[in-house]
Chains A and B, each alone.
Chain A
């Protein structure tokens, strides 16, 4: 019972943290362009070559 009482608030706190982060990312516009990211993985290869 004690384990539940401790673990549930921790789980909720972690979930809340994740949620707040996600909301912040949405507000910042990180989800406005979900296409270009997959292309940018190729760019790093080029940077490495340099």
Chain B
């Protein structure tokens, strides 16, 4: 049975499992980070966290950054992020890895136990903690350090103007919807009496009171709830681009003003309830849509919270710590080792090793040299570096990415634009029919009032609310069900091609595999002596391979003590060091075959070839004597093997196209039971594969994460990237898997199939209603009251049908 880490619940590594005693019971951990966090949680008496967490997986505790006093407690940070409220300070802290109720509980409990903290309230949907503290008792850096100690990643946060506007828009819609709901609720009671009166008779005085009350209730709904539509209809008329809001307003205004006419003349029936009901339904749809947009935006914001709060700049030879958003173009910015880069810039230092995993998805650091571009949001692995700022804020690559996502989320999908076009022509037809109904009634010798009633009947029954709701209501539900699974459909136009996907192309590194190195095999001689040497050397390096080996050898840290006399990191080669213990001096090299073959030709017992092994092979040479090797490999993501089986039932073909070596790709595909794979692929090769498939008429989905996949993602019928693959790949993809869960590939295809079906059904329902009711109304067979009833019924049918999508989607596991 597969075992999981006691703390994070991710699967345990095959080798080097860490154990520790928690509450007198021996537990297993995936790494020492998880063990130390679990011990701390237990020491604080917060073991209830593990009961609450259940089987939910949280992030592995890979690193525990220390938040320095000068960085967080500086005046510039306080000025920007902290609000003073009497004797207390308050701020928002964004935590980027909150996954479940246990995370909410733990953070709130632990923070509230800090002396001086009076309020700690976590908002799960945004991942933000609102915190109030007494600055004389505790500093912001202490709060940050406590959050980091329990395994979470805190960032300071200030809502942008855009975000504030988005929140106020959601509240505004809610308020307008509530007004319509109250109006509708009140009118239902009155209308029930009026309906009874219509069939059984009612005293004219009573009827008049009911009419007046209805008018009183419906007027604020018509004016306040309907204001966004009235405004939109006005501008659509002004710009001569009639839209759905115009039709909605025409229909509702006819019903409203006719009802006002009836109220004061006692001739006929009122339709104030229709006014409230239609506004309530439409606003309800818009509110749900706004909530979904806000939720996805919050998730994206939490992922993009990569810029440090404050930074050091060099001004007139002096180091100044300022808020990161005060950095200007051409400023010289100093970035200490381990910190994130706050702006786009040009490297001034001779060289730097930076982690651009948010750009490329590759976890290996990239070596940059003087004059190279360094991107905002990436991390500096080396010692302190200097950069000259070239772009700040929204101009930077990270800022640009954010605006691309926001823009795409506000675009209307093609299918919605098409129904609006249909509605545009529909308006003309309806006007012709209403003129026909009016003239026909008069020609037949009936009164002017009868002609007006017939015309209103036509306009009410023709109100294409159902047609207008057919696509957006389905898309809203689609967005909701997708968002619940961590899927963002960036471009809603792809719903249709997504449903027809028949070939999936998968990138390997970072997509199929975790993109993190693990030691899969260890063949080192004399472990008790050699491991402490490796531990001592790798502790000093920030390279991902060094980090993996450091974690792997950590258990032997104290078995023998070594001191480093000399150490040199060789980019692309490994690390060379001179160590000394109490008696002897050692010359140690940890690195790859290439370097050994080129520079250390006389190593004894060095094997001739590594070809039979798959993965990164790291050799250890001590005093020119070969001591063995580590094989590091990227592991296939949890559960992806089962997922591939399910995907095979959904599409005709799944292929892997990777830049890795044949052996590595072959091994991965063998494990996944995938027969079609190509290795050593450059971006142009990937495009060639895609072109060939598309020329054969296939609808191809590309799943990738790095810059090398960006072109294929853009060219594929559907491009899917995930959380780790940021910027370029997100820019070029249509679907983003925000939870990094590849099940999203299958879910997105299945949901799009359901959505396409529902859209077709909804359009047919609305057309069927209008085709039956319009002729009846035009020839005077329908009273406005029946028309309003059927018109509302058609909208309700469409909405109910859209909601069925949610039920159907829940069946997909």
Binding site for B on A (CB under 8 A): 1, 4, 8, 11-12, 15, 18-19, 22-23, 26-27, 31-36, 39-40, 42-43, 46, 49
Contact = CB atoms under 8 A, between A and B. Distances in A.
Interface string B179-220: 100100110010000000000000000100100010000000
Interface of B: 48, 52, 100-101, 104-105, 108, 122-126, 167, 171, 174-175, 178-179, 182, 185-186, 189, 206, 209, 213
A19 B105 contact: no
Contact of A33 (B48, B125, B209): B125
A36 B123 contact: yes
B124 A33 contact: yes
Contacts of A19: 178-179, 182
Contact of B101 (A8, A26, A34, A42): A42
From DSSP, what is the main secondary structure of chain A's interface residues?
A: helix
B125 A36 contact: yes
Nearest to A19: B182
Nearest to A8: B213
Given A1-B206, A31-B171, A42-B52, A36 B104 contact: yes
**SS class, residues of chain B in contact with chain A:** helix
Contact of A46 (B100, B105, B185): B105
Contacts of A36: 104, 122-125
Contact of A39 (B124, B126, B171, B174): B124
8 contacts: A11-B189, A26-B178, A27-B171, A31-B171, A31-B174, A36-B124, A42-B52, A49-B48
A35 B206 CA distance: 46
Nearest to A34: B125
B182 to A, nearest CB: 5
A4 B178 contact: no
B206 A33 contact: no
Given A4-B206, A15-B185, A15-B186, A26 B175 contact: yes
B189 to A, nearest CB: 7
Nearest to B298: A35
A35 B178 contact: no
A44 to B, nearest CB: 11
A25 B157 CA distance: 24
Nearest to B103: A39
A3 to B, nearest CB: 12
A27 B185 CA distance: 22
B480 to A, nearest CB: 13
A35 B124 contact: yes
A40 to B, nearest CB: 8
A33 to B, nearest CB: 4
Given A4-B209, A8-B213, A23 B185 contact: no
Contacts of A12: 186
Nearest to A39: B101
B213 to A, nearest CB: 7
A34 B298 CA distance: 14
Given A35-B125, A36-B122, A11 B186 contact: yes
Contacts of B182: 15, 18-19
Nearest to A46: B48
A36 B295 CA distance: 13
Count chain A CB atoms within 10 A of each CB in B101, B179, B189 and give the residue with the most.
B101
Nearest to A37: B124
Nearest to B295: A35
Interface pairs A-B: 5 shortest CB-CB: A39-B101, A35-B125, A36-B124, A33-B123, A35-B124
Nearest to B178: A22
A27 B108 CA distance: 24
Given A19-B178, A33-B123, A36-B123, A43 B105 contact: yes
A12 to B, nearest CB: 7
Contacts of A27: 171
A18 B213 CA distance: 19
Contact of A26 (B52, B171, B189, B209): B171
Contacts of B100: 39
Contacts of A49: 48
A35 B294 CA distance: 12
Contacts of B108: 43
B40 to A, nearest CB: 18
Nearest to A33: B123
B124 A26 contact: no
Contacts of B174: 26, 31
B295 to A, nearest CB: 8
Contacts of B104: 36, 39-40
Nearest to A27: B171
A42 B178 CA distance: 30
B178 A23 contact: yes
A26 B172 CA distance: 9
A14 to B, nearest CB: 10
Contacts of B213: 8
Given A4-B209, A12-B186, A33 B178 contact: no
Contacts of A23: 175, 178
Contacts of A22: 178
A39 B182 CA distance: 29
A35 B52 CA distance: 17
A26 B168 CA distance: 10
Contacts of A31: 171, 174
Nearest to A36: B124
Contacts of B124: 33, 35-36, 39
B697 to A, nearest CB: 44
A39 B122 CA distance: 11
Nearest to B122: A36
B125 to A, nearest CB: 4
A31 to B, nearest CB: 6
B51 to A, nearest CB: 8
A19 B178 CA distance: 8
A29 to B, nearest CB: 9
A9 B554 CA distance: 76
Contacts of B105: 39, 42-43, 46
Contacts of B126: 33
A43 to B, nearest CB: 6
A49 B51 CA distance: 13
A5 to B, nearest CB: 8
A44 B167 CA distance: 29
Contacts of A33: 123-126
A1 B182 CA distance: 24
A44 B767 CA distance: 52
Nearest to B175: A26
A32 B167 contact: yes
Contacts of A18: 182
A50 to B, nearest CB: 10
A40 B189 CA distance: 37
